[in-house]
Chains A and B, each alone.
Chain A
Amino acid sequence: MTPSLVSKYLGEREGQRPSPLSDRTQSGSKPLLELDALSVAIHGQPILRNLDLTIAPGEIVALTGESGSGKSMTALAAMGLLPHGAEMSGALRLDGRDHGQLSERRLCAIRGREIGMIFQEPMTALNPVQRIGQQVAETILVHRAMPRAAARARAAEVLARVGLPPDRVPPSRYPHELSGGQRQRVVIAMAIALRPKLLIADEPTTALDVTTQAQILALLRDLVREEGMALMMITHDLAVVAEMADRIAVMKSGEIVEQGETARLFAEMRHPYTRQLFEASRHRADLPAPRPDGPLLRVEAVTRHYPGPRAGLFRPGPPHVAVNGVSFEVARGERVGLVGESGCGKSTLARTILGLEPVQAGAITLDGAPVYRHGKPDRAVRRRVQVVFQDPYGSFNPRHRVGRLIAEPFHLLDDPPRGPERADAVARALIDVGLKPEHAEQHIHAFSGGQRQRIAIARALIIRPELVIFDEAVSALDVRVRAQILDLIADLSRQYGLTYLFISHDLSVVRGITDRVLVMRNGEIVEAGATETVFDTPAHGYTKSLLAAAPSLPQPPGGGHADDREPDAR
């Protein structure tokens, strides 16, 4: 993907021809989309309550809020694609026509032609057995907007417009041959093929890496400006909102709690929830001063590769090198961050340190003792390292009770505690992470995402490991819960002097919770240094581009912390 994409198409901006497909009147004040006391209930349960919102042509309006706030449901309501059993009341008008009054037939004629939509997950949003050109042309053909040949030509043109020129990514490609960012471009091309008046983007960059995200956001912004489209942008990421939107609507539990122009909204933040979101998004944990004390973990020239796709029937292809000659050290008491984009090898590196995967070259030692002895992970070393994974839902056997889940690492001890002693250890671990001893009797499905990550931390700490690896441990959490978990990690650091390796793709999170940071790219560490130094004065070009691509929040208007514990308490 070219970073110069935007500039490449700058020429097209001047003398933008009027759309041949629709005669739109660009009357600045008349709203294009109007939600008027819109409410939606599914099987009688209210999902959206009394939404009032307008979007004018050429305007970018962001809907933001945590998961479950009703952002996506609003988008589906605008598309007329509400799930079965949904009841809509109030009005939702596009160009003055109320969608609630339209037949399914009329809605089909509007979808794709007057409203285009972009989804979150580019990996699954495309039909895997159809060529991308065909899929883009289908938008045109289904509305009988052009003859077949013209539609194909238009599809190629739109694909080129979104950064997939035919000479590099021909329309005859299948989705699986494209990267995530490229697929998202195809989805965008499908959405804009007929130059709709309104574009709805539902978390369009959440599944993408930060540099790809910056490119896609730039593309969306340009499209809106050039084609005079309105954009309804749905995202949980306040920084993205701040950079993209003309106006913002903050949603909570199906209601819009605050809306206004971006600059003004960030300056005022009248609703406490807005303030909480903002504070949590820029939250820095209060990390105690580091007390480094001699080397603990040593990674020396470690290489890990996987067999590549076979080149021929019997010929093995070149191996895929996930980790390439990586060396670093972590001192006892040190909090080290490891950042990089997806596929850079950071998780593979974590698994080699945990002794879950063999290495092809190099050595990993803990306090001088190798993690691997005779090709097998050494139990005595292993019990000194524990891990917290990303997915709060997949990290626990749903059939076991919390007590048994937390006690699992005891398996590594030669003489694990039993009976009351074990129950005590479990109770203490639960208290340490802010839960109650009686939670040990419950099954994991009774807990929220944030509570599950607390349980995961309890499990990691129960055998008092010397090194803890946090592998994207807060990435799946909503911002306010994330802030609380980061605080918990800081508290535990203060209490037990933890040493940890904090792996994340999210630069702002790493910044707030580590002393030193390693930047990884294509299996290699390209930059390492004290966290503040690396973030303030990055030396490597890649680090610079990462930091430049990351969207940033505006400066706070001044005011105290509003970091309450509400969402996690249940």
Chain B
Amino acid sequence: MTRNLILGTLLTAFLVGAALLSFVWTPYPTDTVAIAERLQPPSASHWLGTDHFGRDMLSLVMVGARTSIAVALVAVGIGLGLGVPLGLAAAARSGGWLDEAIMRMNDLIFAFPSLVIAILITAIFGPGATNAIIAIGIFNIPVFARLSRGAALSLWRRDFILAARTAGKSAPRISAEHILPNIANLLIVQGTIQFSLGILAEAGLSYVGLGAQPPIPSWGRMLADAQTMVALAPHVAIIPGLAIVLSVLGLNLLGDGLRDRLDPRLGAVRR
């Protein structure tokens, strides 16, 4: 199934490329209002049309990609950075109080969907893109903790870990030296999936006003702005949504392709 990998890589490269390009160049500036040109359908001068302020949609989508990537990437980083060590620690102390505490804490976080966390944070600090990052990031912690604990547990039962223990190596050292490299593929695959979920979640939070605030362009906010204009100019609603769908699709295909390629079935050996 290398088709998945190729298509996924292309779409993801396109997304990242557009975001990077927007730092140095966009077809039109995104911070100037041109009411005369508002809500134009896609045309030769504005490939994706214009929004209700007359801004170029293509430029907005490019800059919006930045927000999506930044939020999703940092959120995955939080999940990986905190979740994986917790999961590895829980597996190393499997059955002990630390394991129990970490897993119960995970269950508890699962009871707080990212939206609820975002609501709570907004209630304290007011809305902002950081909220989205923290909310999605916190929700990613148990995802990675569970994944790495489960995978690590099955490795801890393997004889090569026993061999490392008879060589006198400590649990943290074994986790770093033997467990982590063997679950890395799994984490990469899950990482791309969480990345795509992060983009979806950021869009949702921005849509209801709990994410990125003006003047930072964001796909979710573009959709919120478009809502009252759907009947007049469908393209303002369709285009940001398509941007989300293609990005998420690309990352998911990439994840599937990587899974097929890396085969995260732990240490799968040809017998």
A464 to B264, alpha carbons, bound, how many Å? Answer: 36
Specify which of A355, A377, A394, A411 is in contact with B158 (CB 8 Å cutoff).
A394
Specify which of B159, B182, B270 is in contact with A389 (CB 8 Å cutoff).
B159
| B residues less than 8 Å from A179 (CB atoms) | none
| A377-389 to B contact mask, C-beta < 8 Å, 1/0 | 1010011011101
Specify which of A355, A390, A393 is in contact with B271 (CB 8 Å cutoff).
A393
Chain A nearest Cβ from B139, distance in angstroms: 31
B97-151 contacts to A, CB under 8 A, are none
Specify which of B162, B178, B181, B269 is in contact with A356 (CB 8 Å cutoff).
B162
Q: Are A398 and B163 in contact (CB under 8 A)?
A: no
A442-463 contacts to B, CB under 8 A, are 444-445, 456, 459
Chain B nearest Cβ from A42, distance in angstroms: 15
Chain A nearest Cβ from B225, distance in angstroms: 50
Q: Are A387 and B168 in contact (CB under 8 A)?
A: no
Given contacts A397-B182, A399-B181, A399-B182, contact A356 B159 (CB under 8 A): no
Q: Are A397 and B166 in contact (CB under 8 A)?
A: no
**Interface residue? A226 (CB, 8 A):** no
Specify which of A389, A399, A412 is in contact with B162 (CB 8 Å cutoff).
A389
Chain B contact-residue range equals 10 to 19
Given contacts A398-B267, A445-B269, contact A391 B166 (CB under 8 A): no
| B residues less than 8 Å from A387 (CB atoms) | 162-163, 166
Q: Are A396 and B160 in contact (CB under 8 A)?
A: yes
Given contacts A356-B165, A412-B168, contact A395 B159 (CB under 8 A): yes
**Interface residue? A437 (CB, 8 A):** no
**Interface residue? A31 (CB, 8 A):** no
Q: Are B166 and A394 in contact (CB under 8 A)?
A: no
Chain A nearest Cβ from B167, distance in angstroms: 5
A352-371 contacts to B, CB under 8 A, are 354-356
Q: Are B166 and A354 in contact (CB under 8 A)?
A: yes
B228-271 contacts to A, CB under 8 A, are 267, 269-271
Count chain B CB atoms within 10 A of each CB in A355, A391, A399, A410 and give the residue with the most: A399
B150-188 contacts to A, CB under 8 A, are 158-160, 162-169, 178, 181-182
Work out how many contacts link A and B, with CB atoms closer than 8 A. 62
Chain A residues within 8 Å of chain B by Cβ, number: 30
Q: Are B163 and A411 in contact (CB under 8 A)?
A: no
Per DSSP, are chain B's interface residues mostly helix, strand or loop, or mixed? helix
Q: Are A395 and B163 in contact (CB under 8 A)?
A: yes
Chain A nearest Cβ from B59, distance in angstroms: 46
Given contacts A393-B271, A397-B178, A445-B269, contact A356 B160 (CB under 8 A): no
| A390-432 to B contact mask, C-beta < 8 Å, 1/0 | 1101111111000000001111100000000000000000000
Q: Are A409 and B182 in contact (CB under 8 A)?
A: no
Chain B nearest Cβ from A47, distance in angstroms: 15
A393 to B182, alpha carbons, bound, how many Å? Answer: 15
A395 to B160, alpha carbons, bound, how many Å? Answer: 4
Chain A nearest Cβ from B178, distance in angstroms: 5
Q: Are A386 and B269 in contact (CB under 8 A)?
A: no
Beta-carbon nearest neighbor of A382 in chain B? B168
* Interface set of B (CB-CB < 8 Å, partner A): 158-160, 162-169, 178, 181-182, 267, 269-271
User: What are 23 A-B pairs with beta-carbon distances under 8 A?
Assistant: A354-B165, A382-B166, A385-B166, A386-B166, A389-B159, A389-B162, A394-B159, A394-B160, A395-B158, A395-B159, A395-B160, A397-B160, A397-B164, A397-B267, A398-B269, A399-B267, A408-B163, A408-B169, A409-B166, A409-B167, A410-B167, A411-B168, A445-B269
